[in-house]
Amino acid sequence: MSKEIKFSLVYRDMWQSSGKYQPRIDQLVKIAPVFIEMGCFARVETNGGAFEQVNLLYGENPNKAIRAYTKILHEAGIQTHMLDRGLNGLRMYPVPVDVRKMMYRVKHAQGVDIPRIFDGLNDTRNIIPSIKYAKEAGMTPQATLCITYSPVHTIEYYAEVADKLIAAGAPEICLKDMAGIGRPVFLGNLVRKIKSKHPQIIIQYHGHTGPGLSMASVLEVCKAGADIIDVAIEPLSWGKVHPDVISVRAMLADAGFKVPEINMNAYMKARALTQEFIDDFLGLFINPTNSLMSSLLLTCGLPGGMMGSMMADLEGMHGAINAALRKNDKKELTMEELTLELFNEVEYVWPKLGYPPLVTPFSQYVKNIALMNVFSLASGEERFSRIDPNAWGMILGKSGKLPGELAPEIIALAKEKKFEFTTADPQSFYPDNLEEYRKEMDENGWDYGDDDEELFELAMHDRQYRDYKSGVAKQRFEEDCEKMRAQKMAKEGFSEEDIQKAKHAQAQPIEATVHGRMVWEYNVTDPSTAPELGHKVKEGDTFCYINTSWNTIDAQYANFSGRIVEICKKQGDMVEKGEPIAWIKFEAPDAPAVEAPAEPLQAKSKVSNKTMKHLKK
């Protein structure tokens, strides 16, 4: 009888490997039934990693999104899994034990079945506690081997790590080939070695397609006994993401494996919906190069999941690096040349830093060191002169044991700075602090939420959660979208007039009802300060005032709610009757965007005492 291979759709990772944001709750709920209709997925990756942070960044409650999303899949018998960064939980830096334990209880209550627990250093001290916490919460822990290619990462090395994780109670092992640089034959032999000793263990393979080895790796691990393969769907498959389920299924079926059929009508629906989400706003933050494979990734080993953030970092540093090169009479770099410089520098510094597998957060640490080295060299300075505190934590052992030895110059630099190395349990550096967050919730009068899920979000992502609650996150997101839309249109050759029309789509002007001079009153001490873009206007708010030529004051007020997308007039500007003062994108209070009212904002003759005092001055 031929071996059965199951498929897992890594929908969360598809987006993270492509750009900055994840789909909204309404989009996830819309596409989940189509995944079921496709009929080929035993599992779907629903959340974890950057999912919660990203939802908070654009002003959406991730807890509601996860519950609604997983419910649909569960009712169809599909398991859900999440990405879990072990010591770091769902964020980029370590989590106290009490918050870490709480995570599994909350996520199980929200409907998540399997946490994929990984540690970027493969330090079992950071994974084994999470196996225990997950089982206590009723979840199925999947322990993870972060795959890379180096002299110290041998089959024996990985097999020994797997033995420890299985002995600690892990019923499943994931081979997380985050950069896609695992060699196919090596991966097949590793699966074979684990299965020969632990035949009952489920093995799931996760391989990004970046350098182009993933299809061969999928075939090799399946031949060796793997049970589940992570796959993607168009239009986000391939590139820096994952192989497409259609191609994987065809290859495995031809090799004699038992694989599920794909409902192609449903596949095309899911494909179209994903493109619809891209066209909505998600595509604004997807770098075109992330749709391409690159053999250059074989040498630097950077993971697919960080390509979006890396390209943003490069674009941000491009001008500064070229300015430094100009200052030192050196040739400036194009973006392509800078990318290659970074890849080469990562390849150079990685062995000197002890071969940490390049996965979150260590991929970011190594990339940051390499990027700062490129900048330092352009500025005529020495390498390793700019290492951030988090990267030093990795170097000194506060995150776990590095697989390889540090280079002598790194050790000497640490001693010069009087830093101390440690072999202590990484968790010992991060004491419990859940009670501090309970106090903050109580002081603010914030609801803890079902199963304490809101308390958990604050404790796990405190800064992002505060910005979400204050509305700052939503405002930043709106501004970010407007900026990216304008940049995209400018690159595509659209005129300024076209860009303005696009900005005003789904928006309506606040029109002056009289002729006169503008007066703003959004700052108590300075009535000349206009509101910022993204500022939310509520129905009934006084928006601004017009000082007429016959010395009367007419207030312009809102008769609907929305967010400001453009300010047309400054303090003291003359404004004609019927001329736009600002443009508002329509939005119901605490709800998604709605259709525009039929009429523009109207004026009302009233003025505050505070404004009258300023006008008299």
Predicted confidence (pLDDT) per residue in 134-182, tens digit? 999 999 999 999 999 999 999 999 999 999 999 999 999 999 999 999 9
Whether the predicted pLDDT of 601 surpasses 90? no
Whether the predicted pLDDT of 593 surpasses 60? no
Whether the predicted pLDDT of 316 surpasses 90? no
pLDDT (0 to 100) of residue 567? 86
Higher pLDDT, 78 or 523: 78
Average pLDDT, the chain: 89
Whether the predicted pLDDT of 52 surpasses 60? yes
Domain total for the chain?
3
Phi first, then psi, for residue 93 (nearest 5°) are -140, 165
Average pLDDT over residues 179-190: 96
Residues 387 and 415 in one domain: yes
291, 324, 353 - which closes a domain: 291
Average pLDDT over residues 437-454: 97
Is 463 inside a domain boundary? no
Whether the predicted pLDDT of 74 surpasses 50? yes
Residues 424 and 317 in one domain: yes
Residues 522 and 608 in one domain: yes
Higher pLDDT, 425 or 286: 425
pLDDT (0 to 100) of residue 273? 97
Residues 518 and 570 in one domain: yes
Higher pLDDT, 281 or 231: 231
Average pLDDT over residues 532-553: 80
Whether the predicted pLDDT of 127 surpasses 90? yes
pLDDT (0 to 100) of residue 596? 42
Is 44 inside a domain boundary? yes
pLDDT (0 to 100) of residue 528? 64
For the ranges 77-91, 93-107, 218-232, 523-537, which has the lowest average pLDDT? 523-537
Whether the predicted pLDDT of 110 surpasses 70? yes
Average pLDDT over residues 312-323: 85
Residues 317 and 279 in one domain: no
Whether the predicted pLDDT of 595 surpasses 50? no
pLDDT (0 to 100) of residue 185? 98
**Domain span at 405:** 297-428
Is 536 inside a domain boundary? yes
CB atoms within 10 A of CB 266: 17
CA atoms of 267 and 402, how far apart (whole Å): 43
CB-CB contact of 310 with 210 (8 Å): no
Cα 566 to chain centroid, rounded: 28
Residues 14 and 30 in one domain: yes
Average pLDDT over residues 523-542: 70
Average pLDDT over residues 351-355: 96
Please give the model's pTM, rounded to 2 decimal places: 0.81
Residues 287 and 301 in one domain: no
For the ranges 256-265, 358-367, 430-439, 584-593, which has the lowest average pLDDT? 584-593
CB-CB contact of 593 with 560 (8 Å): no
pLDDT (0 to 100) of residue 558? 72
pLDDT (0 to 100) of residue 1? 59
Q: Fill in the DSSP letter of residue 429.
A: G
For the ranges 203-217, 224-238, 332-346, 422-436, which has the lowest average pLDDT? 332-346
Residues 312 and 375 in one domain: yes
Whether the predicted pLDDT of 256 surpasses 80? yes
Is 435 inside a domain boundary? no
Which residues neighbour 371 within 8 Å (Cβ) at sequence distance 6 or greater? 313, 314, 317, 342, 345
Whether the predicted pLDDT of 608 surpasses 50? no
386, 406, 428 - which closes a domain: 428
For the ranges 158-167, 401-410, 500-509, 534-543, which has the lowest average pLDDT? 500-509
pLDDT (0 to 100) of residue 526? 61
Is 358 inside a domain boundary? yes
- N-terminal to C-terminal alpha carbon distance within the chain: 91
Residues 275 and 328 in one domain: no
The residue type of 184 is P
Residues 245 and 355 in one domain: no
Cα 189 to chain centroid, rounded: 33
398, 428, 458 - which closes a domain: 428
Is 594 inside a domain boundary? yes
CA atoms of 469 and 443, how far apart (whole Å): 14
CA atoms of 344 and 377, how far apart (whole Å): 13
For the ranges 115-124, 133-142, 357-366, which has the lowest average pLDDT? 357-366
Token code pair at residue 533: 């873009």
Average pLDDT over residues 399-404: 95
Residues 268 and 332 in one domain: no
Q: What is the CA radius of gyration of the chain?
A: 27
Residues 517 and 403 in one domain: no
Whether the predicted pLDDT of 454 surpasses 70? yes
Q: Fill in the DSSP letter of residue 3.
A: P
Token code pair at residue 131: 């196996």
Whether the predicted pLDDT of 589 surpasses 60? no
Average pLDDT over residues 113-117: 98
SS3 state at 587: strand
pLDDT (0 to 100) of residue 20? 86
The structure tokens 């597998």 sit at 357
pLDDT (0 to 100) of residue 591? 42
Is 147 inside a domain boundary? no
Which residues neighbour 110 within 8 Å (Cβ) at sequence distance 6 or greater? 63, 66, 67, 70, 451, 453
For the ranges 193-202, 210-219, 460-469, 573-582, which has the lowest average pLDDT? 573-582
For the ranges 167-171, 244-248, 343-347, 481-485, which has the lowest average pLDDT? 481-485
For the ranges 123-132, 192-201, 302-311, 355-364, which has the lowest average pLDDT? 302-311
Is 466 inside a domain boundary? no
CATH number at residue 610: 2.40.50.100
